[in-house]
Amino acid sequence: METIIKIFGEGKDLTLLQMSARALVVYFIALVLIHISGKRTFGKKSAFDTTITIILGAILSRAVAGASPFLATVAACLLLVLIHRLLEWLILGSKGFSKVLKGEKILLYGDGSIKRQNLRKCLMTEDDLMSDVRLKANEGTLENIKEVYMENTGELSVVKK
């Protein structure tokens, strides 16, 4: 036990080497937590997924800095990841849960017209819409565009005619 305390330190008065040792261990713990949570969690970046990323980063940093007890911090993160995973399973079985936790796509352009009310909901201008159409569909006008959606990840998707 004395050796572990010497390597990882106790409390907030940590040496450079102790904090570095903690950072190394926390890095591998974070990899395990990401694996448990699922690859999609850290790839899709919906608000639901981004929330767990921010919280895990904030809590794990406390373990590195010695601001909170190491094992309690890791246990809290594991619990959050397991809850996130459970919610993902609930989302898979229920469109209602999915809509509440992840949101849904919003039609910004369709049937030959811009949906201005939906643009306002997404805090976008027509210029923002056209910028994404140029970037995503390589089109300068909406003439060859069937639909444009704001996805639940915040990205725009463009469907050509």
Domains of the chain in sequence order: 2-100 (no CATH), 105-160 (3.30.240.20)
Q: Write the pLDDT tens digit of every residue in 102-161.
A: 888 999 999 999 999 999 999 999 999 999 999 999 999 999 999 999 998 888 999 999
- Tokens 């352009």 belong to which residue? 109
pTM of the complete model: 0.73
